[in-house]
């Protein structure tokens, strides 16, 4: 399978615990994005990387959230001291920059990691 | 500040008829628009896109129309099939820079046999 893969698919944790999600993008894609989706809403941008550099973070990304892409390949999203409001689907997407993609701008999403904080 | 809006939370269409999903945006800097389809417990799947230099793009049963002056786009599915039942998200971006997508709230499409 050469698509975007995310792990775990579902995580149930108690409030106050730390959780980490992993994303493996499409191998030749140089950009990687994290989004969050809550019930009844569209996905909301959290952060993105170009290669290993984190270039933008949303205001939604509080200090308890940290993302890394150490070698420009896979990425991790860690949430420290989870709160019930962190319960959501965390989506990872990857893409090429539009010039490399021939002038298009599609992001390719993984199946998501659903977090439930009790 | 909702920059991309889908005002219809749901739509029900008879199999074989045309489905029309609508989307409005406010940011005139957006120059690329996309539609994604999402099934429960899965990530969004890219469906079709359109650049701001075009007003129509067609791919099989799916056609996207863009009206820049009205800041409005629509997705037409014809003929509609039961497998089209899903949540459809409209998204917009700027190709220069982050290319991050701004999504609407989604429209749940149900195709009735």
DSSP chain A: --S-EEE-SEEEE-TT--EEEEEE--TT--EEEEEEE-TTS--EEEEEEETTEEEEE-TTS-TTEEEE-TTSS-EEEEE-S--GGG-EEEEEEEE--TTTTTS----EE---EEEEE-
How far is residue B20's CA from residue A115's CA, in Å, rounded to a whole number? 33
Question: Which residue in A has a C-alpha nearest to residue B40's C-alpha?
Answer: A111
Whether B42 sits inside 8 A of A95 (CB atoms) is no
pLDDT of residue A103 exceeding 80 = no
Q: What is the mean pLDDT of chain B?
A: 95
CA atoms within 13 A on the CB side of A55: 14
pLDDT of residue A32 exceeding 60 = yes
- Is the bond into A5 cis (omega within 30 degrees of 0)? no
pLDDT tens string A58-78: 998 889 999 999 988 999 999
Chain B contact present for A98, CB below 8 A: yes
pLDDT tens string B29-78: 999 999 999 998 889 999 999 999 999 999 999 999 999 999 999 999 99
Whether A105 sits inside 8 A of B49 (CB atoms) is yes
Per-residue model confidence (pLDDT) at position A5: 96
pLDDT of residue A31 exceeding 80 = yes
pLDDT of residue A99 exceeding 80 = no
- In three-state secondary structure terms, B82 is helix
Per-residue model confidence (pLDDT) at position A102: 72
How far is residue B82's CA from residue A118's CA, in Å, rounded to a whole number? 36
Least confident of A6-15, A66-75, A90-99, B30-39: A90-99
Per-residue model confidence (pLDDT) at position B104: 97
A74: closest CA among A34, A116, A19?
A34
User: A with B: how many residue pairs have Cβ under 8 Å apart?
Assistant: 68
Chain B contact present for A11, CB below 8 A: no
Residues of B with CB under 8 A from a CB of A: 4, 6, 32, 34, 36, 41-46, 49, 51, 89, 91, 93, 95-96, 98-106
Least confident of A101-105, B3-7, B95-99: A101-105
Per-residue model confidence (pLDDT) at position B84: 97
Contact A45, A33 (CB under 8 A): yes
pLDDT of residue B103 exceeding 60 = yes
Chain B contact present for A101, CB below 8 A: no
Question: Which residue in A has a C-alpha nearest to residue B53's C-alpha?
Answer: A103
Q: What is the DSSP letter of B84?
A: G
- State the best of A56, A97, A105 to mutate against chain B, taking most chain B CBs within 10 Å: A105
Contact B17, B77 (CB under 8 A): no
pLDDT of residue A1 exceeding 60 = no
- State the best of B2, B32, B101 to mutate against chain A, taking most chain A CBs within 10 Å: B101
Q: Nearest CA to CA, how far is A108 from chain B (Å)?
A: 7
């Amino acid at each position: 399978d050469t698509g975007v893969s995310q792990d775990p698919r579902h995580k149930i944790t108690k409030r106050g615990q730390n959780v980490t999600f992993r994303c493996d993008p499409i191998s030749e894609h140089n950009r990687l994005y994290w989004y969050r989706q809550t019930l009844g809403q569209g996905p909301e941008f959290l952060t993105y990387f170009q290669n290993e550099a984190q270039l933008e973070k949303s205001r939604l990304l509080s200090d308890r959230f940290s993302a890394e892409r150490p070698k420009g390949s896979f990425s991790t999203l860690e949430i420290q001291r989870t709160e019930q409001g962190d319960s959501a689907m965390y989506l990872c997407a990857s893409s090429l920059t539009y010039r490399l993609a021939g002038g298009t701008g599609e992001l390719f999403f993984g199946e998501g990691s659903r977090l439930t904080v009790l | 500040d909702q920059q991309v809006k889908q005002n219809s939370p749901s739509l029900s269409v008879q199999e074989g008829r045309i489905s029309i999903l609508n989307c409005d945006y406010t940011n005139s800097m957006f120059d690329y628009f996309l539609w994604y389809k999402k099934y429960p417990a899965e990530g969004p799947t890219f469906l079709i896109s359109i650049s701001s230099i075009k007003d129509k793009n067609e791919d099989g049963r799916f056609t996207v129309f863009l009206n820049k002056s009205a800041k409005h786009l629509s997705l037409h599915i014809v003929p509609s099939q039961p497998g089209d039942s899903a949540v459809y998200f409209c998204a917009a971006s700027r190709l220069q820079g982050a290319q991050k997508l701004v999504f609407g709230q989604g429209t749940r499409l149900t195709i009735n046999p």
